[in-house]
A and B are shown apart, each in its own frame.
Chain A
């Protein structure tokens, strides 16, 4: 009876409700995160595990392949942020106004790519960017009077393919994020701006942009993370983790290659830890630039 009272008391209940999270947090988050740090200082063989200090980190600094992977991931991240924030914002503003007809149809169609898995979308794009003259992108080039290209064999043409795949999948999702952000803006602000004779651009600049800033910061944050941690898109576009001269290798791709394909867990975890540090630094800079810290101090 006593234990029953204890379990049913208002003081104990919240802990019982939160228990699954506490357990999952410890077992599937803290433990692997700590292990990642520990393993990054180890050389992990099939049977033996040796402590090697900072040797993995030293090796990573000099690892040319890792540098390539870093550059690829950064380029991809910068370009995706540059493409997947302004355009979806513009689309959302247009959708939010009353000019566009049949909004529901366009919204559903824009969102469709997000429903396809990477296997399917990656395969479709690989076939579209096929190096044969009959591939769609090459047919398009021929129509424009340009020579056919081996899209996935050189650095910049494959970057274009990757970015198109990414924009294709996420434009609709980001547009929906911005639309939901716009919904929360008080429409009377625009009406009073109209009375003051504001132009459309002024309203966009002085009302819309500042007021959807929380949405923009959120979309920017997830875009940075997704960009840095991109792997499967490249994995599918080249039907495996190997691209010519590593033009499609990303940080996570290198982590996967080292850890799973080459069974060098210690070194792969070092890659992971470096990725974590980069992600955290970028996010702190971004939050700081956006003044999120100041807001909390007030």
Chain B
């Protein structure tokens, strides 16, 4: 690898580094992007298009780049779709092109180009039908998409920062800086997001003078002033979307995920001054490597000292092409011709552009007015260009290796427009600007249609001052900066060169998605005339491109094909994010184990240390079983359930939601919330209670304990605690406002250990402090009393969810482990959720499987509770006729007819007469070690009587099991064990 001559640019240093692209090593200078270094090394072919696999080179120099997307790194930790124009090279970096096999230069899938006619707009709706889509699916999936997904995501955690400020300014070009300075001078707290690594925007190229000094000097002074005023300037940071009043900005210094930050910014007011994106002009073969945006060529030259070609033809529709030509020629490139689509009279005599043109002509540059580039010649790169007069005349060829196009500028509104704000057509731009500014969002500079430096500065200053006032800053914004730079471009609309219909297949509008003029014509012919429909049918502006280079251009071509104005056609909306970001960045900290927050009980560490196999239940982590009791969940659960039935066990019930309801109106409030009355309970007594939604469906169940005349403890399902707190608070605030009742979540204030089984009372009495043994020993079913263990206060409730004699021990978290271990020492064994499920299904008790939001009290066998006549929430709608129809479900028990066959929750229950018409479904099923058979609970149509034989059909898991319907309580229906 020989070292090429040192380049000089504003963004590169003199230190050399090396990188690899498609397996080959190249030199680069510190500060080079992948794009600038490859160009400097003479590499022009950088990718293949997604549909036809056509060769593609660079179009732009920034976030608008649709072609040069690279895989960075190696599998399994490869990062796909990284834009070469934003990727800052580091020593040893390995890059690879995408969408090609076996190589970028020779790609077999490029044979698809031969079938270009078959792959026109909407081809996937019309082809691959016979014999079946499945025949082609595998091949198409291999060909489709951009890049390769990483097999393993080892990207480090993205940093997140929440920011609040008075004024957010997006863009630190002249308008953005003027806005920020005005707002900061007025006393506003300002945050500036600039997508480039340095501030200044177009000042970097155009120069000009501001307030009597060079633009560069003004830039330095303004940045210093902003810093002194406390403004925060975030470079390499792009606002990628808005989310109501919150703006999401993404900082990715160096363009490579891994050191990125997501900002969530809540400003009081915002100035959108993100500039404008240059748009191409469409002509035949305009996708060849060597066809680039004019502004991109200037950027590569200024920033990186990279010449984009040796012999240039410039193709544009505005005055600024002449200033650019002069700068590019001064940079050492030969400008062969300037092709101006405007007539010879477009240049005002004596204007700067006119003078420049004359000097260029004198220097031997051919300046063609009222001409257009008809096509680019060359396969793997541009070798010549064919130009023709627009008003008739034969085309001719001009030798060149690069065609630089500029069809005007489209304001960069995407970052602030994902919310769907309206846009208005701006004739001087032949593009769209924001239709209106609001108090919280203003637009400035070229994003607002001001392309001249002086106008952009004035516009930015005014927007910043108004935004500061909107944010209640009361200071004085000062005087607007005065500037002069490149004059007005005096643009005349021109979107595409003339072409014969057959050639329109090679006139590319969206380079990333291979959308051509022919595709738009097909879409129109097939009835898709609205720009949004055309976008979806043709894939115009989808994917990571999101219309940055194609949206306005596509709309302009569509307008031409429809014979309408661009204003009438409008422009399609883009989707966030404005710039591609990794899913990892969007996920934030919700990845891996942290995908959902987890709650842990005071006994969590004990469970982990003693083989408890934890699983999430709602947000809670709970032991499913203990590995010492069996090699797998099934065996362990059977052993644990058998232990409870024959001796006794303990389970961690701390996850039960616990709400303390207090105040003189607490009893009345609970009477309103629950189906049965709390006010009739005596202190020291508990009750199983059910509450309903307003529509009469059962919401939750649990025990309610009366702690005092004006104080209750309501327990809820484990995964339901937070929801039930909201439910209680909602009705307390809405219907009980001002009444004497409060609701306090005490879930974490009480650990709960459930001791169950025939020996649990003996074990408990061993553990309790002596004074409490007698009263607790006499405790009746559903009664509770105070107790203590090792001097720590307990609340002991005799209640059962297993059908066994059982006690709930409520203790403070600090004493939970000691109590748990004391119970183990007293002969009880720990059991997990699998065993809990076996025990409760044997007894016919309910969980969320049955309380699924679609069941009424009648469905669940709770008619007796309804008959108590409490006029509670949801009671009024229980009388709806639909709740009493014969097809409503009811809770039943099921048993396998042969006793041995396994059936699972979710299986559909059908009759022999109607095997395709489900009569209900299995809600829960377990293997019962006590009854030595598979049994379950189900919700079954009421007209299916007990004793009926049904089929539990489970086609997805491949089982059909004959079952018969029984009562829901399979074990100890008289409840002698738990009440004895």
> A and B from one assembly?
no
